[in-house]
């Protein structure tokens, strides 16, 4: 008997007792439905968690050069007249180029900072205002806070010659928010001043105005380096010190976690909140496993239903089995025929359960946002996500359950003595 | 075709009935030639059905040996026995034993499916067989829509599907009235004569047995005597 014929026979045998096959597969439907709903909910929740975490900055990580005590010189240990830490492993321009190629990296923002006590002024229209160079605090705009948004122009600065102002700075110069657009493209003088009175000017073009109310400016990276060189009276602080910090934006929270581990392995100090992500993912995993177990138990119970149906079917068809054996069917063929029959009951139950679970998820995905809007919760997106792996896995598992359930009854059918089977009434 | 198709020597079959051991057959010896029509007769419990089942490879001897077409059925392995039943033997039962969910043609196709004949060839062969037993118009009917005689014709067509060497019939007219029974018997005898089919039939009807070329009389598990009629060939 060819395998094709065995499948055809098994299918027609499933079809000949439709009600009974349907009832037998009902258990599988319930089990599969449970698994699909629970696991797709878990997948949806995982996506939600990742999205929420990304919104509060968990998709970003800050790379710092690895430290190595303080630069020696004079004064008590740990004191450094310049207030800069000596560095074990510095972040070079080559590192930046290399990181840009890493999978999952979507943005790299290098930072070069001036010491906090550096006097910085902005001169514009004849007035001077003291400002701070933004980005001096490594956590700014990194965690729990979305990056500042532009109220005029763009906050993306060119490699050199660009400046962005906070609206606090603009207001200090007496510019009302209506006139912000007029400021874009104008040149301002940024003055660096030492306590001994030395000063150095940089003329930079305004690119944008941010929503921030503090008096901050952002300056193109090349100009920052120039400022730092001037301050430390050096020509190549970048070569000696590298970048002060680099913020990397990853494609998603999971990528951020991987990148963190990789860059730490390379010897950099990396700050990220991957612990939170890991904990949340662990919780979701535990919940997923629990839910899957519940569905799995339902499926195990379903095996009893299928096995019972198969035992009944074999009892009823004992005489047919005898006839088939007399016609030259082997024990293996009889066994495969009944196992396939049980497998199909599992498969059909699995497909129906998957479809029902998928439809239920689609429906709930429509209903939940309505509720969330009503409660004014800022959560968007789907809560039930049926992945391909889930769909395939659950159908394979349901079929497997059917085969397992059919094994012992089929074995019994295969071992029937043809003579006794033929005498069966 | 004067060769011995079946040869049984000291053939014994014992059954365990509770604590007692019952000998259904003890020390049976006989030979059947190819192309012969042999009748097994005897009262119930004489062992004639047991003998037929041993010849058909549905049962195994407890002692002695039976050779059919060169195969020793007592020592053959399971696979050889399955192939033997599928390719060499056709069974016709008293109670027809058609597969109830299949129509007449599908019933005839079943042994062809087991023999892995492709579907189209299967259908053609089954149709031809049903035509030859006069059932072409009833081909797509299920067994419960057929009369007893029609069912037995389907069963005969099914038994012949894989062109067996040996047709085994266990009281094939036992469940039929005398008229249809006679027609079925005519059909079987016609096949035997037209195709040179070796046929062994269990019966307790002396009239039916009289149409055979050789009659084996059984009683209490032993052969009482073997009667040859005019048509019988001489056993070498």
Asked whether the predicted pLDDT for residue A188 surpasses 50, the reply is yes
- B97 vs A322: CB contact, 8 Å cut-off? yes
Looking at residue A146, its pLDDT comes to 56
Confidence of residue A349 (pLDDT cuts 50, 70, 90): very high
- B101 vs A12: CB contact, 8 Å cut-off? yes
Instruction: Supply the ipTM of this predicted assembly.
Output: 0.93
End-to-end CA distance of chain A: 27
Average pLDDT score over residue span B88-113: 94
Are A354 and A37 contacting, i.e. CB atoms less than 8 angstroms apart?
no
Lowest mean pLDDT among A109-118, A240-249, B40-49, B222-231: A109-118
- A1 vs B91: CB contact, 8 Å cut-off? no
A323: nearest CB among B78, B97, B116? B97
Q: Report which of residues B186 and A382 the model is more confident about.
A: B186
Please, which residues have CB within 8 angstroms of residue A97's CB and are 6 or more apart in sequence?
none
Q: Which of B73, B45, B47, B77 is nearest to B61 (CA)?
A: B73
Looking at residue A233, its pLDDT comes to 80
The A-side interface with B (CB below 8 A) comprises 1-2, 5, 9, 12-13, 16, 319-320, 322-331, 333, 418-419, 422
Distance CA A265, CA A271 (A): 13
Domain ranges for chain A, please list them: 3-54+279-423, 59-110+243-272, 113-240
Sort out which chain A residues have CB atoms less than 8 A from B87's CB and list them: 328
Asked whether the predicted pLDDT for residue B77 surpasses 80, the reply is yes
CATH for the stretch B34-228? 3.40.50.300
Q: Does domain A59-110+243-272 have CATH number 3.40.50?
A: no
Average pLDDT score over residue span B54-76: 93
Lowest mean pLDDT among A334-338, A376-380, B14-18, B164-168: A376-380
Looking at residue A177, its pLDDT comes to 81
Indicate yes or no: pTM above 0.80: no
Domain ranges for chain B, please list them: 34-228
Distance CA B92, CA B152 (A): 8
- B101 vs A329: CB contact, 8 Å cut-off? no
Looking at residue A111, its pLDDT comes to 80
Looking at CA atoms only, how far is residue B134 from chain A in angstroms? 22
Distance CA B161, CA B116 (A): 12
The B-side interface with A (CB below 8 A) comprises 53, 56, 58-59, 78-79, 82-87, 89, 91, 93, 97-101, 110-111, 113-116, 158, 162
Lowest mean pLDDT among A142-146, B164-168, B171-175: A142-146
Average pLDDT score over residue span A260-277: 80
Lowest mean pLDDT among A144-153, A191-200, A309-318, B21-30: A144-153
- B99 vs A16: CB contact, 8 Å cut-off? no
Confidence of residue A73 (pLDDT cuts 50, 70, 90): very low
- B114 vs A333: CB contact, 8 Å cut-off? yes
What mean pLDDT value characterizes chain A? Answer: 82
Asked whether the predicted pLDDT for residue A240 surpasses 80, the reply is no
Looking at residue A85, its pLDDT comes to 53
Confidence of residue A174 (pLDDT cuts 50, 70, 90): confident
């Amino acid at each position: 008997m060819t395998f094709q014929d065995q499948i055809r026979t098994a299918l027609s045998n499933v079809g000949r007792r439709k009600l009974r096959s349907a009832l037998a597969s009902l258990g599988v439907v319930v089990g599969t439905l449970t698994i699909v709903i629970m696991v797709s909910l878990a997948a949806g929740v995982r996506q939600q968690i990742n999205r929420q975490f990304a919104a509060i900055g968990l998709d970003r990580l800050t790379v710092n050069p690895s430290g190595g005590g303080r630069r020696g010189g004079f004064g008590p240990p740990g004191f450094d007249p310049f207030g800069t830490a000596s560095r074990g492993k510095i972040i070079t321009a080559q590192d930046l180029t290399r990181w840009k190629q890493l999978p999952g990296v979507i943005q790299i923002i290098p930072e070069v900072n001036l010491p906090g006590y550096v006097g910085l002024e902005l001169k514009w229209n004849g007035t001077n205002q003291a400002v701070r160079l933004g980005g001096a605090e490594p956590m700014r705009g990194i965690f729990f806070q979305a990056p500042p948004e532009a109220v005029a122009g763009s906050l993306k600065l060119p490699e050199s010659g660009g400046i962005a102002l906070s609206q606090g700075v603009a207001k200090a110069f007496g510019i009302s928010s209506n006139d912000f657009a007029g400021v874009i493209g104008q040149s301002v003088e940024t003055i660096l001043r030492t306590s001994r009175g030395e000063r150095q000017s940089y003329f930079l073009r305004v690119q944008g105005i941010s929503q921030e109310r503090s008096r901050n400016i952002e300056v193109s990276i090349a100009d920052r380096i120039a400022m730092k060189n001037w301050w430390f009276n050096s020509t190549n602080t970048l070569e000696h010190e590298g970048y002060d910090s680099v913020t990397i934006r990853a494609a998603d929270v999971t990528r951020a976690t991987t990148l963190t581990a990789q860059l730490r392995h390379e010897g950099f100090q990396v700050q990220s909140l991957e612990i939170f992500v890991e904990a949340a993912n662990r919780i979701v995993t535990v919940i997923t496993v629990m839910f899957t177990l519940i569905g799995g138990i339902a499926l195990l119970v379903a095996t009893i239903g299928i096995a019972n149906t198969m035992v009944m079917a074999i009892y009823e068809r004992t005489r047919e089995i005898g006839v088939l054996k007399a016609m030259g069917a082997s024990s293996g063929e009889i066994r495969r025929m009944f196992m396939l029959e049980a497998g199909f009951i599992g498969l059909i139950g699995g497909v129906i359960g998957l479809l029902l679970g998928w439809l239920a998820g689609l429906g709930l995905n429509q209903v939940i946002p309505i509720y969330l809007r009503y409660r004014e919760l800022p959560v968007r997106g789907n809560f039930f996500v049926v992945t391909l792996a889930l769909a395939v896995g659950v159908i394979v598992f349901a079929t497997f359950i059917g085969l397992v359930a059919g094994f012992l009854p089929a074995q019994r059918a295969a071992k029937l003595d043809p003579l006794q089977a033929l005498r069966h009434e | 075709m004067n060769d011995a198709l079946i040869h049984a020597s000291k053939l014994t079959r014992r059954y365990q009935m509770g604590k007692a051991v019952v000998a259904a057959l003890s020390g049976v010896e006989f030979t059947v030639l190819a192309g012969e029509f042999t009748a097994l007769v005897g009262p119930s419990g004489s062992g004639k059905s047991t003998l037929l089942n041993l010849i058909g490879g549905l049962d195994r001897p407890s002692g002695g040996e039976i050779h059919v077409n060169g195969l020793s059925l007592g020592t053959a392995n399971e696979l050889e026995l399955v192939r033997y039943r599928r390719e060499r033997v056709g069974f016709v039962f008293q109670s027809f034993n058609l597969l109830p969910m299949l129509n007449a043609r599908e019933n005839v196709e079943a042994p062809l499916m087991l023999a892995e004949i492709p579907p189209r060839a299967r259908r053609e062969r089954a149709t031809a067989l049903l035509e030859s037993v006069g059932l072409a118009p009833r081909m797509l009917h299920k067994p419960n829509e057929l009369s007893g005689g029609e069912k037995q014709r389907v069963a005969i067509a099914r038994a012949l599907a894989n062109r067996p060497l040996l047709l085994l019939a266990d009281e094939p007219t036992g469940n039929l009235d005398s008229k249809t029974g006679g027609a079925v018997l005519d059909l079987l005898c016609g096949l035997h004569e037209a195709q040179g089919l070796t046929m062994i039939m269990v019966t307790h009807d002396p009239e039916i047995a009289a149409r055979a070329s050789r009659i084996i009389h059984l009683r209490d598990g032993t052969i009482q005597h073997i009667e040859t009629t005019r048509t019988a060939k001489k056993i070498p």
